[in-house]
Amino acid sequence: MTGSSWKATRRAAAAPAGLTALTALTPLTPLTALTLLTVLAVLAGAAACSSAPPPGPARPDVPKAADLTASVRAAPLLHWTGSWRASVTTRELAPGIKPTEDVTADLTALDDGILYGTLTVAGAPASVLVLGEQAVFVKAKAAYWRKMEHVDVPAGDLTGTWVLHRRPVQYGLDLMRLTPRRVAADLAAVTAPVATGTGAPPAPSVPSWQDPPTAVPLAYPPPDGAPATAARMDLVRMDGSGTGSVRNGAYWFSAAAPYRLLGYSGAELLTAPSSQRDTARLTARPGTAEEAAAAYDELRELLREVPRTVTANAFAHLDTELSKLTPCAPGVCGPVAVGVRLRNDSESFTVSEDLTVTLYGGGFWQPERITGKVGECRVSVRRLAPGKSVRKVCTVQDPRIQRMQRKEKYVWFRGSVSGDLTEVTAPSEAERLARELPRS
């Protein structure tokens, strides 16, 4: 084949690939021919790939944290059901009462720290109305009050009636954090990316001056109604005990728009977990504006049941001051009269209290050397109003006074006072609270 015919043949072969113009203008050398063959091979491979079947549908993206947070912030109501384990004991552990009990909840949470519903502690139910920082009303039978950690007045006065509770964090879980606004605030502070599945989240980052965690976050299964593939936002923090331990929990969401909060599982919402068994599993259902309006109406009806004056479970002991006690001289030691001034320093509680005055005697005037108990007397105060005071006198008449005087000649005295609350009442202001609830 001549040189000119060889060139024509190469041009004809290159024409289908769109290279006619290139070969017409470029004299072919062996190196040029090799280059053209390489280009043709690449183009042929690309054409083969383009004829392959298209890939399947792409896996949906993990939701954005901002979208999940916004879905909660927009919810006018959250309805929670579920359970957790918490420490709810009496001050002196009664027989049969465990340090940790099962608590179940059926609660409707609204904005402004308002929620209401039923809490059941180890089988003992209670109706609960939480109105932000203003008031917590509880109505329950005696079995419920026997299981509570702090009961400051006789449990019999609390049974079967609405009681004003002055201890807002109750039952081992921070109820106030269940409202839509507080949940959204917690979610907005999450820095970890949205995850799916049931794996454990990463450990929290700590400043360089702080000891690193001594434990890793735990993996918690989703609550009832949430699939294992649901999206989750993890709340992880150091527990503040100084031991380096970590507490975490997760809010679970539907993985596809429109996003919906499905629930919570973990220990981060618990106020004082005592072991890894203390966990919460709560199912959530966001409500509509119409449901929120109906919930406020129901709450108004419940507040109409609350009397104007209610028993208050509050630590409201009277302030006490003993009068100066005169030492007794030889031959004149007899009954000792003790004056007690009592003042109610509370702003809203009317207090009734039984008080015991314990008298001590000694042969020297220094209080730390007056250690011998020589008798007791009692005083009672009934319905002392806020800001009011009263003076009471009781008399200690005990043969130990005379026996000490015969031994010591001169006897100096000091006293101490202890009290048991018998009744604490307060205005409920339920009518005002009902008026202030939002209306549709």
Q: List the chain pLDDT tens, one digit each, 440 residues.
A: 444 444 444 444 444 444 344 344 444 444 444 343 343 344 444 444 444 445 444 345 789 999 999 999 999 999 999 999 876 543 444 444 455 678 999 999 998 789 999 999 888 899 999 998 888 999 999 888 877 766 767 767 788 899 998 655 467 888 889 999 999 999 999 988 999 988 888 887 777 777 777 778 889 999 999 998 899 999 998 766 556 678 899 999 999 989 999 999 999 998 876 666 788 999 999 999 999 999 999 999 999 999 999 999 888 899 999 999 888 887 778 789 999 999 999 999 999 999 999 999 888 888 888 888 989 999 999 999 999 999 999 999 888 888 887 877 788 899 999 999 999 999 999 999 999 999 86
Say if residue 96 is in the same domain as residue 233: yes
Q: 431: which 2 tokens?
A: 């009518």
Q: Which of 263, 292, 311 delimits the end of a domain?
A: 311
Say if residue 234 is in the same domain as residue 353: no
Nearest Cα residue to 320 out of 295, 351, 275? 351
Q: 3-state DSSP call for residue 70?
A: helix
CATH number of the domain at 345, please: 2.60.40.10
Say if residue 269 is in the same domain as residue 148: yes
Q: What angle do CA 359, 365, 371 make, to 5 degrees?
A: 40
With b for 16 or more beta-carbon neighbours within 10 A and e for fewer, the 188-202 pattern comes to eebebebbbeeeebe
Specify whether the CB–CB gap between 60 and 256 falls below 8 A: yes
* Domain-located, residue 432: no
Say if residue 161 is in the same domain as residue 286: yes
Q: Which residues constitute the domain of residue 341? A: 316-425
Q: Which of 273, 288, 311 delimits the end of a domain?
A: 311
Say if residue 281 is in the same domain as residue 142: yes
* pLDDT score for 243: 61
Say if residue 299 is in the same domain as residue 356: no
* Domain-located, residue 397: yes
**Residue 206 DSSP code:** -
Say if residue 251 is in the same domain as residue 188: yes
Q: 2: phi > 0 → left, psi -120 to 50 → alpha, else beta; which? A: beta
Say if residue 282 is in the same domain as residue 253: yes
* Domain-located, residue 207: no
Our count of domains for the chain comes to: 3
Q: Going by DSSP bridges, is the β-strand pair 350-362/319-322 parallel, antiparallel, or unpaired? A: unpaired
* pLDDT score for 60: 53
Query: For residue 185, what are the CA distances in angstroms to 92, 181, 287?
Result: 38, 6, 18
Say if residue 299 is in the same domain as residue 351: no
CATH number of the domain at 269, please: 2.50.20
Q: How far is CA 57 from the centre of its chain?
A: 42
Q: 229: which 2 tokens?
A: 């593939």
Say if residue 371 is in the same domain as residue 403: yes
* Domain-located, residue 434: no
